[in-house]
Amino acid sequence: MTEPQLPRIRGRAPRVLSLVYNDASNDSRVLKTAASLQQAGAQVQILGSARDLAGHPAGVVQVRGLRVRRVPDLIVPLVFPRLTRLWRRLAGKDPVTGQRAAADDGATAGARSVTGPGAQVGERAPAAPSAAARAKVFAADAWMRLYQTCRLGFWWKGAVGEGRRLRPDVVHANDANALVPALLIAAGRRTRIVYDSHELWRRRNTRQDKWLAPAAEAVIERIGIRRAAGVITVSPSIADWLQHTYRLTEKPSLVRNIPAATVVPDPARGRLRELTGLRREDKIIAYTGGVTTGRGLEETVDAVAHLPRDVHLVLLGPTDATYTAGLLHRADAAGVGDRVHLAGVVPYPEVPQALADADVAVVFVRPICLSYTYSLPNKLFESIHAGLPIVAADLPDTAEIVRRYGIGEVFAPERPDELAASITHILTGAQGYRAASRRAAAELTWEHEAGVLVDLYRRALEELR
């Protein structure tokens, strides 16, 4: 049994409460952090939010050997049925089922076909929305913003009640939306706060027409980060930004979201061909992660059109139906609809194994916000642990990893032609990159990152002894 690395508090194991505003069932960083602290001798409980409609109700469950308590979620259709029916009417949906009317769907689809890829010259554009339609959209948007705000506040209230009862020694706030309950749980007590910034919260990909929420978030993060006994984050650039913006005397600790150490899988045991029905002789460009906006998937589809017919793009990860339909339409319009494949979802620990039979991985986060520019995507490290060559957008932290370890090629994110050229270069000489990726996987492990995490906790807890 591993000797505890964290100091005991008045003769007992330190109590750590990890706050996260999701159901915690698939949040790899939250689960790995909690497991590492537990292995280091802490008593850890994750406090998340129920997601009843996704099959994660309120209550206590075990997730990968960790105790997770989910506080109730604010489900408006159950709590405020009349308001829900009103909002659905304003949004043009059936007030009972919440389904959009068929006529609306047709209009939406028509608008996408005209303005999206493959639109034909001479097609009639949809008519501009009427004043009544615009008013409905505004009302529905205002209602949704109010609902999401109330929903977050409802979780704050439940988290504070549970947290105060549990009397933790450390509250681990996962992202800035967990800082308010962390501050209230710690108020008037010796409880320490550790702030874990999973992304550059104030510069993340959100709507730019809002001002009140960003202003409130700036105040909350400033107060929380100054109250925290320790700050950790996921990339060097975000650490620099936090230190400069908040004038921190100590740079936040770098704890990257890297998979745990494993043997790099044999390519012959990869699953992408099995999941998509592709042949052994086909070449596979792999993408892993959410199939959604801001991930450079449009440019990647365009690049496939410039590659030989035996080169296919396989997308491994959860999909958004509306976005995916548009992406596949773009592929059809480019003549590569039969070469873009959805492989579905596999459990997080199995991602490197599933990717292993790909020929190259694309890591492309479009720099549409500073948080994306400064990101170190999970997919980068998952692809390294799969032993794959990497083609990555030239963003500071991502490019630094690719170049330092010699695991692939970097392209300018605004140049899809460079993306196609980089893929071609790797496909004609990938073995050297594969070897470099396997060497990098041995060094880039969660166990190394966890050492930094435990050291920070050791310093924070020493003050309580």
- Rounded to 5°, the CA angle 265-268-273 comes to 110
Q: At what angle do helices 446-462 and 28-39 cross, to 10 degrees?
A: 60
Rounded-to-5 percentages of helix, strand, coil across the chain: 50, 15, 35
Query: Chunked in runs of 10, what are the mean pLDDT values of the chain (465 residues)?
Result: 78 96 95 97 97 92 96 72 57 56 40 35 55 73 82 96 96 98 97 97 84 91 97 98 97 97 94 95 95 93 94 95 95 96 92 96 94 95 97 96 96 88 89 93 97 96 85
Helices marked H in 347-390: 351-355, 370-373, 378-385
- Look at residue 463 in the predicted model and tell me its pLDDT: 82
> Which string of b and e fits 164-194 if b means at least 16 CB within 10 Å?
beeebbbbbbbbbbbbbbbbbbbeeeebbbb
Q: Are strands 43-49 and 283-288 parallel, antiparallel or unpaired?
A: unpaired
Extract the runs of DSSP E, i.e. beta strands, from 157-293.
170-174, 192-197, 230-233, 253-254, 283-288
Terminal Cα-to-Cα distance of the chain (whole angstroms):
24
C-beta contacts of 376-382 below 8 A and 24+ residues apart: 376/234, 376/235, 376/256, 376/257, 376/401, 377/289, 378/28, 378/257, 378/289, 379/287, 379/288, 379/289, 381/256, 381/257, 381/258, 381/259, 381/444, 382/259, 382/288, 382/351, 382/352, 382/355
Residues 357 and 334: their CA atoms lie apart, in Å, by: 26
Token output for 150: 């109330």
- Look at residue 290 in the predicted model and tell me its pLDDT: 92
The secondary element (H helix, E strand) that includes residue 167 is none
Whether the CB-CB separation of 203 and 369 falls below 8 Å is answered with yes
Determine if the pTM surpasses 0.75: yes
Q: Which fold has domain 267-444?
A: Rossmann fold (3.40.50)
For the chain, domain boundaries: 1-258+445-465, 267-444
> How many other CB atoms are there within 10 angstroms of residue 239's CB atom?
22
Q: What amino acid occupies position 133?
A: A
- Look at residue 439 in the predicted model and tell me its pLDDT: 96
Whether the CB-CB separation of 241 and 259 falls below 8 Å is answered with no
- Look at residue 118 in the predicted model and tell me its pLDDT: 38
Whether the CB-CB separation of 438 and 264 falls below 8 Å is answered with yes
Location of structure tokens 């908040």: 246
The secondary element (H helix, E strand) that includes residue 207 is none
Q: Which CATH superfamily is domain 1-258+445-465 in?
A: Glycogen Phosphorylase B; (3.40.50.2000)
Identical topology for domains 1-258+445-465 and 267-444: yes
